[in-house]
Amino acid sequence: MSSPVGAVAPAPFFPARRPGGAPGLALFLNAGDPPLPVLRELVAMLDEEGVDCLELAVPFPDSVTDGPTVRRSARRALDRGGVDLDDVLAFLADVRPHLKRTRIALLADWRYSLGHRDLAAATRDIAAAGADGLLVHALPPRLREEHLGSAAEAGLPVVTTCYSDSPPATRAEAAARASAYLYLVAHYGRSGTAPAAGHAALARTVTELRAHTTAPIAVGFGVSTRQHVEAVGASGADAAIIGSAAVAAVEAAQEAGRDVTEAFRAFVRSVRPEQP
């Protein structure tokens, strides 16, 4: 296994799984959907409920990798205003010190949020705000080493990604570069769609990736129910990532005029497997 010089040691985003235990749980939301004051309450609730990780995106428009649910969410957040990178970092700096369990991985799009900034300075700002990890969306390959070096210098673990059907060398490199966790995308397509063979069928891929990383492996795309989370666990992965279904729960609560935090609490409890 290889890793970049000065790589950050893997961070414990997800607790070690007990034999037969459920995988960890990560939930994706766009900052600003719900509005930041409501989101602050929601994040505190996630910590109370023992959710391991929040993937918090700085919203950006017209993502080609996301399905309509996530794209609507980003558009709602952007239309409300007040959710650029600086706003989200201020929000993060406010909420992160109060969390006892839930860790926050920031997702930022290169073109929309980072490309016009000095990468090293932006990475330091993200680390200083309290992010536990960073996932850069659509990072140009030519900047990969600079990104990894900047993150290592800032002491900020990185989330890397690969598809289950990526070439073996691509998967191995992504695994070796992960220091927060490796996001294994269940299949090629847009968020919200599930692999035809089911998530448990990723077991061989997960086993192969273990040879290249000591970071946790989290599986996403098409994970929306307790049964899907259990299937991810059956693959041997460390955690399941729920994106579109989590965003849809927020959307439904807002459209119905319900308490978003309490509606989302019910969603969390509905998808989390029972511990043996």
Confidence of residue 2 (pLDDT cuts 50, 70, 90): very low
Distance, in Å, from the CA atom of 31 to the CA atom of 112, rounded to the nearest integer, reads 14
Q: Which of 164, 211, 149 has the alpha carbon at shortest distance from 2?
A: 211
Packing angle between helix 85-95 and helix 36-49, nearest 10 degrees?
40
Q: Is the confidence at residue 6, as pLDDT, over 60?
A: no
Residue 164: closest CA among 211, 106, 203: 203
Burial classification of residue 118, based on how many CB atoms lie within 10 Å of its CB (0-12 exposed, 13-18 middle, 19 or more buried):
exposed
> How many helices, marked H, and strands, marked E, lie in the chain?
10, 8
What pTM was computed for the model?
0.93
Please pick, among 33, 52, 66, 132, the residue that the annotation labels catalytic.
66
Active site residue 125: no
- Provide the CA 78 distance to its chain's centre, in angstroms: 20
Would 238 be classed as within a structural domain?
A: yes
Decide: 195 and 201 in contact? Cβ < 8 Å: yes
CATH of the domain at 48: 3.20.20.70
pLDDT (tens digit per residue) in 251-268: 999 999 999 999 999 999
What does the pLDDT average to over 266-271? Answer: 98
| 115, part of any domain | yes
Whether residue 81 lies inside any domain: the answer is yes
More confident residue, 2 or 263: 263
Residue 217 belongs to some domain of the structure: yes
Give the number of domains in the chain.
1
For 118-161, what is each residue's pLDDT tens digit? Answer: 999 999 999 999 999 999 999 999 999 999 999 999 999 999 99
pLDDT digits (tens, 9 = 90+) for 179-206: 999 999 997 655 555 666 689 999 999 9
- Res 1 pLDDT > 50: no
Is residue 95 predicted with pLDDT exceeding 60? yes
Residue 179 belongs to a domain? yes
Q: What is the pLDDT of residue 7?
A: 43
Identity of the amino acid at 224: S
Looking up tokens 């069928």 gives: 201
Q: 185: domain range?
A: 24-271
pLDDT band at residue 275 under the 50/70/90 scheme? low
pLDDT of residue 191: 55
Q: Say whether 55 is catalytic.
A: yes
Q: Answer whether residue 49 is part of any domain.
A: yes
- Judge whether 2 lies within some domain: no
Catalytic residue among 33, 41, 48, 55: 55
Q: How would residue 18 be classed by pLDDT, with cut points 50, 70 and 90?
A: confident
What are the pLDDT digits (tens) for 203-212?
999 999 999 9
Q: State the pLDDT at residue 102.
A: 97
In a domain, 203, yes or no: yes
